């Protein structure tokens, strides 16, 4: 099923001018996940809301590594008891 959206064709980079200001404590990505066939590996892309840059990944592990690298002070996001900040 295909749903057509009726909205103006404004790029992510143009819309980001009204988004959060660029900050070392703020990141926004549009993440897309897909696979071509049921048995194929998942693929991914991440598009920066701030710059519009699109990065493609062959595996989910590559996506996760990219996100971890681009999180400032990601080593400090774990609790002392070993739980992640999202648990």
The pTM of this model reads: 0.58
Kindly report the length of the chain. Answer: 87
Terminal Cα distance for the chain, rounded: 35
* C-alpha gyration radius of the chain: 16
Residue 57's CB is within 10 A of a number of other CB atoms, namely 19
Q: pLDDT tens, position by position, for the chain (87 residues)? A: 333 333 333 444 444 444 455 677 888 999 999 999 999 999 999 999 989 999 999 999 999 999 999 887 755 554 444 545 454
Residue 77 has a pLDDT of 52
Residue 14 has a pLDDT of 46
């Amino acid at each position: 099923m295909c749903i057509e959206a009726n909205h103006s064709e404004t790029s992510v980079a143009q819309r980001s001018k009204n988004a959060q200001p660029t900050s070392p404590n703020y990141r926004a990505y549009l993440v897309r996940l897909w696979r071509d066939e049921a048995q194929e590996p998942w693929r991914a892309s991440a598009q920066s809301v701030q710059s519009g840059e699109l990065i493609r990944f062959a595996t989910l592990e590559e996506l996760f590594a990219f996100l971890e690298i681009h999180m400032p002070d990601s080593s400090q996001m774990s609790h002392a008891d070993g739980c992640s900040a999202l648990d």
